[in-house]
Chains A and B, each alone.
Chain A
Amino acid sequence: MSLQVENLTVYYQTLRGDVQALEKATFAVADGEIMGLAGESGCGKSTLANSLIRLVPPMRLVAGQVRLDGELLPLDDAKRMSEYRFTKISVIPQYAMNALNPTRKIGKIIAELLQSKGVDFATILPELKRRLDLVELSHDVLGMYPIELSGGMKQRAVMVLSVLLNPSLLIADEITSALDVSTQKAVAEMLVGFRDREFVRSLIVITHDISILYQMADSILIMYAGQLAEKASTDVIIRAPRHPYTRLLIASLPKVGVRYAERRLSGIPGRPPLLLDPPAGCRFRDRCSMAFEKCMEVPPFVEIEAGHFVACWKEFGADADA
């Protein structure tokens, strides 16, 4: 099993107390699996990603363990964690378009970074060139400054750099949201290519755009207000979601081919709760039409079918499908 997360709880320290951004997240990502991580803004998906990569104040690890290929990750010890970063676990950040130092040649940046990890640049150069071709970047990009490249090109350079040492887990944080439709498809296919070519063993793709996940992800984990709502294979999430929130979320997405005149889609009334002092139990309770007294307790994130996890009391009490 590539990644196992147990009871991961991360809060943000602020002047007015702790923002409970991530609450008891327990899930696993198998080898070769591309897991989509989706949810509205403020649902904790970025917090989850950042806690795996760079847990720095004001974030605080409250509880939970993360194992990667069986090894326990020292999440809150930045020094020891840096050995795992880039070699075992790597990230393509949301700000990939300005993640490269503007006043340094790209080749030099890569060389110095590899050197700091004890890897000789010359030996890895041929592989680097092959991967540049893969993302349609010419080799003389290495001799250029980031300022000379377009946004899309810079992002692809960062993609290549992040997976250069074949990390076992790659986290792609909202990398498609700033792109146009055409480049979006190309970048998504490149990520899948990274997994197929074994550059990375497993992949977590974070985005608020579920239709992108439908195209490229094997499974999707839906989060709401810091809690895991549902995880299942992509088709199950899209075709037969069980969690009320997932169902409403999928229903509210306009699909090409649906016209306002014919079928009027509906959103979800209300707003996600503020996480400074979140409501007890299931945090979707106030916006959920099927909420009942049991929802005052936190629903367990339990496997109701092979590979299909749901956190909703409805699965136990009343009849299975409402």
Chain B
Amino acid sequence: MRRYLGRKLLIYVLTFFLAVTIDWLIPRFMPGDPVQTMLSRASLHAEAVEVMYGYYTRAFGLDVPVWQQYLNFWNAIFHGDLGTSVYLFPQPVIKIILRAVPYDVFLLLPAVLLSWFAGNWFGAFAARNKWLDNTLLPLGYILTATPYMWLGIVLAWAFGVVWGIFPIAGAYGFSLRPHLSWTFIGSVLKHWFLPFASIFLVKFGGWAIGMRNMIIYELEADYSHYLEALGAPRGLIRKYAFRNAILPQITGLSLDLGVIVAGALVTEVVFSYPGIGYLILQAIQNQDYFLIQGCFLFIIIGVLLANFAIDIAYVIVDPRTRLGMMGESA
């Protein structure tokens, strides 16, 4: 077991290292100079640009040789200093991001976990008989093929504009200030529902299909045939099959996190829900490189932590990883 987790940890450390390197490389690697584009927006006359250019390159530490910048970048990360945002100038990047993270967690966690449980249960249920399989499963294919943002738009349009049940922008009523009261919580929940629904539905379809195929394979496995041959009730056979079919879905969840995060980014943009996704969009529109770098770093850390948590859960649930292969080799 130690070996299994050790291997996984090694992959995550390497991934983190590679991701941070990519994150650092991008601004320096791309054509054009970040500071130059920033200044050109500020429409100053010539020599002021010269002075400002010198100041900013020093401020952003771009004047030292490349490998020096790289080391500075690393120890800056460990001190939690991700540089200052260009677009919201005085505020450090880390503070802006930390304000957005709770909304992300509040949106993503329930959407991911609920869609995973409901999707798997539904997939198993749909595999129960032929009629269900041929009617409800195609719905699953359609859902998982729907672009996140489009479902978001349709939901916003149908529920928000046409029926007016749910608000379609922001995280809570504009007139409210964040404080502990039922009206505020009610408003937050109402704003939260549509983005949650659009992520939930798309992923729900994906998990349902995955489970349907897995459970059919498990029902064809030798141990299912043996239980049948011993006259075990359908329920028991299906329970074992479901328990074994859920395991690859756990690893599927960890591999799918990257895609889910991307989907969340887009959904936040549709509902202008103040999570990291919305932040990235504004950062891109305002060419704020350091904010983009910061957001990307947070996404990476979040995905890696979630992946590792899921791997630990997998080891607990699946005895095979815990015990490794015991049988004699031919």
A86 contacts B231, C-beta separation under 8 Å: yes
Neighbouring A residues of B180 by C-beta, 8 Å: none
Q: Are A148 and B323 in contact (CB-based, < 8 A)?
A: yes
Please report the C-alpha to C-alpha distance between residue A135 and residue B327 in the assembled complex, in whole angstroms: 18
Give the contact stretch, choosing among B13-21, B59-67, B120-128, B221-229: B221-229
Say yes or no: is A85 at the interface (Cβ < 8 Å to chain B): yes
**Contact (A116, B240) CB under 8 Å given A93-B222, A148-B323:** no
Closest to B325 in A: A147
**Cα(A251)–Cα(B51), bound, Å:** 104
State whether B223 touches A116 (Cβ < 8 A): no
Q: Give the shortest distance, in Å, between A86 (CB) and chain B (any CB).
A: 4
Query: In the complex, A174→B167 CA distance in Å?
Result: 67
Residues of chain B from 293 to 330 with CB closer than 8 A to chain A in the complex: 318-320, 323, 325-328
The number of chain A residues with a CB under 8 A from chain B is 34
A102 contacts the other chain (CB 8 A): yes
B227 touches A147 (CB 8 A): no
Across-interface contacts of A102 in B (CB, < 8 A): 223, 244, 319-320
Alpha-carbon distance between A81 and B232 when the two chains are bound, in angstroms: 11
Dominant SS among interface residues on chain B: helix
Which residues on A sit within 8 Å (CB–CB) of B232?
Answer: 82, 86, 113, 116
B227: chain A residues at CB < 8 Å are: 101, 113
Is there an interface contact between B244 and A101, defined as CB atoms closer than 8 Å? yes
Contact (Cβ within 8 A) A150 B243: no
Contact A103-B327, Cβ < 8 Å, known A113-B230, A116-B232:
no
For chain B, residues 177 to 195, give those with C-beta under 8 angstroms from any C-beta of chain A: none
**In the complex, which residue of chain B has the Cβ closest to the Cβ of A101?**
B223
Residues of B within 8 A of A228 (CB): none
- Chain B residues positioned under 8 Å from A162 (CB to CB): 230
Please report the total number of B residues contacting A with Cβ < 8 Å.
24
Instruction: Select A95's contact among B222, B243, B325, beta carbons within 8 Å.
Output: B222
Distance A255 CA – B323 CA, assembled complex (angstroms): 44
Residues of A within 8 A of B323 (CB): 145, 147-148
B233 at the binding interface (Cβ < 8 Å): yes
Interface readout for A115-134 with B: 1 if CB under 8 Å, 0 if not? 01100000000000000000
Contacts of A149 in B (CB 8 A): 326-327
Interface residues of A in 34-88 (CB under 8 A from B): 53-54, 56, 81-87
Asked if B240 contacts A99 (CB within 8 A), the reply is no
Please state if A116 and B236 are interface contacts (CB–CB under 8 Å).
yes
Does B328 lie within 8 Å of A103, measured CB to CB? no
- Chain A residues within 8 Å of B328, by CB: 150-151
- Minimum C-beta distance from B214 to chain A (A): 13
Chain B contact residues, CB within 8 Å of chain A: 222-223, 225-233, 236, 240, 243-244, 247, 318-320, 323, 325-328
Listed from nearest, the 4 A-B pairs whose CB atoms lie closest are A85-B231, A82-B231, A99-B226, A86-B230
- 17 residue pairs bridging A and B, Cβ less than 8 Å apart: A81-B231, A85-B230, A86-B230, A90-B229, A91-B229, A91-B230, A93-B229, A99-B226, A101-B244, A103-B318, A112-B236, A113-B227, A147-B319, A148-B326, A150-B328, A158-B226, A162-B230
Binding site for B on A (CB under 8 A): 53-54, 56, 81-87, 90-91, 93, 95, 98-104, 112-113, 116-117, 145, 147-151, 158, 161-162
